[in-house]
């Protein structure tokens, strides 16, 4: 297989684009594509202050690398969840994130959940569910709260996350299986700022996971190979596997599934629902939005 741009040996073949590229051209192509999507979906501009949520994994560190190469002003936010599970998951991912930032002279903010809120994520989960279920719902709640708080309070205009196309397609697949209208309405590459909530964008949402993996490896980015130990057996991994099976027979199926959803929504698939959108209230303690008056779920959990 030859690189379409220069005829040298290709290292990546993207069947969904009918495009094979050599290392150098692939490493140029990914930031070019990302820039194109940032502009097309009006995610943010060069004059805005950007915060990137980084976990130490391949997607978020590669995103920071790309955004930096494209000349945007972006700081990183690492949230230490206090997950150990015998593999030092949090401390190792923090070490790699700090190494990445230091090596490129980038500004990294670190929020340690245990230091700031008195317990690690597994400990919070133990308290609320007595360890019966995985800590993921609590973890998601805490991460969303902290990311939004830091973005707003530190004067950033937009928060970026490293979700790739496989992540987005798997979430969409789950939401479609249960026709979760509220979630389908909110899923997209850019969530505009609303009262109490910062703007969010996912610049990698059109890039396949395997390409992000190739990017991280070819750029020599040191990231944490282990997934969070609590992600084992998760439904999102199962949905990703199902979609990948579909992709083998029909290259581009994952991408078409997600993009045709965005198109359908744009042409009014959920128009009626949108006008009925539930009224949001602001939490009386932290000021972030909540569906019921009074405290938001994060502040309720903290007050227990
Ligand atoms: S939610 Fe669950 Fe993830 Fe939190 S506890 Fe780990 S797997 S990190 S995206
Ligand atoms: Zn080439
Ligand atoms: Zn609150």
- Ligand 1 centroid to Cα of residue 25, in Å, is 34
Judge whether 34 and 15 are in contact, CB under 8 Å. no
Q: Are 56 and 96 in contact (CB under 8 A)?
A: yes
Report CA dihedral (169, 178, 148, 106) to the nearest 10 degrees.
-20
Q: Residue 110 phi/psi, 5° resolution?
A: -120, 130
Q: What is the pLDDT of residue 128?
A: 84
CB of residue 118 inside a 6 A radius of ligand 1 = no
164 and 208 Cβ atoms separated by less than 8 Å: yes
> Can you give the pLDDT at residue 131?
61
DSSP 17: G
Ligand 1, residues 231, 233, 234: which to mutate, most atoms within 8 A of Cβ? 231
Ligand 3 centre from 127 Cα, in Å?
19
Q: Is 137 in the pocket of ligand 1 (CB under 6 A)?
A: no
Q: Does the CB atom of residue 56 touch ligand 1 within 6 A? A: no
Asked whether 228 lines ligand 1 (CB < 6 A), one says yes
Torsion of CA 246, 250, 251, 255, to 10 degrees: -60
Q: State the pLDDT at residue 278.
A: 65
Q: DSSP label at 119?
A: S
Residue nearest to atom 7 of ligand 1 (CA): 231
Predicted pLDDT of residue 51: 98
pLDDT of the chain, 304 residues: tens digit per residue: 999 999 999 999 999 999 999 999 999 999 999 999 999 999 999 999 999 999 999 999 999 999 999 999 999 999 999 999 889 999 999 999 999 999 999 999 999 999 999 999 999 999 887 666 789 999 999 999 999 999 999 999 999 999 999 999 999 999 999 999 889 998 999 999 998 899 999 999 999 999 999 999 999 999 999 999 999 889 999 999 999 999 999 999 999 999 999 999 999 888 777 766 667 899 999 999 998 899 999 999 998 7
* Distance (Å) from CA 118 to ligand 3 centroid: 16
Per the listing, tokens 């992600």 go with: 231
The answer to whether the beta carbons of residues 232 and 225 sit under 8 Å apart is: no
Structure tokens given for 85? 């599970």
Q: Residue 190 in contact with residue 41, Cβ under 8 Å?
A: yes
User: How many angstroms separate the CA atoms of 149 and 242, rounded?
Assistant: 35
What are the Cα distances from residue 238, in Å, to 87, 173, 200, 204, 275?
23, 11, 26, 21, 34
Beta carbon of 82 within 6 Å of any ligand 1 atom: no
Ligand at shortest distance from the CA of 19:
2
Cβ neighbors of 266 (< 8 A, separation 6 or more) are none
Q: Which of 53, 85, 136 to mutate to test the pocket of ligand 1 (most atoms within 8 A of CB)?
A: 136
Sequence-distant (6+) residues with CB within 8 A of 118 are none
User: Which ligand is nearest the CA of 234, by number?
Assistant: 1
191 phi/psi in degrees, rounded to 5 = -110, 115
Q: What's the gap in Å between 21 CA and the centre of ligand 2?
A: 5
Q: Is the CB of 135 under 6 A from ligand 1?
A: yes
**How does strand 281-282 pair with strand 289-290?**
antiparallel
- pLDDT value of position 270: 82
Residue 228 alpha carbon, nearest atom of ligand 1: 6
**Rounded distance from Cα 2 to ligand 2 centre (Å):** 8
8 A C-beta contact, residue 147 and residue 155: no
- Please work out whether the CB of residue 74 comes within 6 Å of at least one atom of ligand 1: no
Predicted pLDDT of residue 70: 98
CB 11 within 8 A of CB 23: yes
What is the sign, positive or negative, of the torsion defined by CA atoms of 233, 238, 240, 246? positive
| Strand 19-21, strand 12-14: pairing | antiparallel
Nearest CA to ligand 1 atom 5: 136
Which of 69, 93, 68 has its CA nearest to residue 80? 93
Measured CA to CA, the distance from residue 208 to residue 163 in angstroms comes to 10
């Amino acid at each position: 297989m030859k690189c379409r741009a220069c005829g040298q040996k290709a290292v990546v073949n993207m069947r969904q684009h009918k495009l094979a590229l050599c290392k150098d051209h692939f490493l140029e192509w990914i930031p070019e594509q990302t820039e194109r999507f940032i502009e097309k979906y009006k995610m943010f501009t060069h004059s805005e202050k950007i915060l990137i949520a980084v976990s130490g994994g391949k997607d978020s560190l590669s995103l920071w690398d790309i955004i930096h190469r494209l000349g945007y002003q972006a700081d990183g936010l690492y949230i230490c969840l206090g997950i150990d599970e015998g593999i030092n998951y949090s401390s190792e991912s923090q070490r790699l994130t700090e190494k990445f930032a230091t090596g490129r002279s980038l500004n990294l903010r670190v929020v340690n959940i245990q230091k700031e809120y008195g317990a690690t994520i597994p400990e919070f989960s133990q308290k609320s569910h007595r360890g019966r279920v995985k800590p993921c719902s609590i973890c998601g709640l805490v991460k969303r709260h902290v990311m939004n708080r830091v973005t707003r309070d530190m004067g950033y205009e937009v928060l970026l996350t490293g979700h790739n196309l496989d992540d987005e397609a798997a979430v969409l697949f789950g939401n479609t299986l249960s026709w979760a209208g509220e979630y389908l309405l909110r899923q997209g590459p850019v969530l505009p700022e609303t009262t109490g909530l910062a703007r969010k964008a996912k610049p990698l949402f059109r890039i396949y996971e395997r390409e992000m993996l190739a990017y991280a490896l070819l750029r020599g980015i040191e990231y944490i190979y282990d997934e969070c130990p609590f992600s084992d057996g998760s439904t999102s991994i199962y949905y990703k596997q199902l979609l990948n099976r579909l992709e083998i027979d029909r290259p581009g199926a994952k991408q078409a599934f997600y993009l045709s959803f965005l198109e359908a929504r744009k042409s009014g698939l959920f128009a009626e629902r949108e006008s009925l959108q539930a009224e949001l209230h602001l939490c009386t303690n932290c000021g972030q939005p909540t569906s019921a008056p009074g405290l938001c779920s994060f502040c309720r959990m903290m007050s227990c």
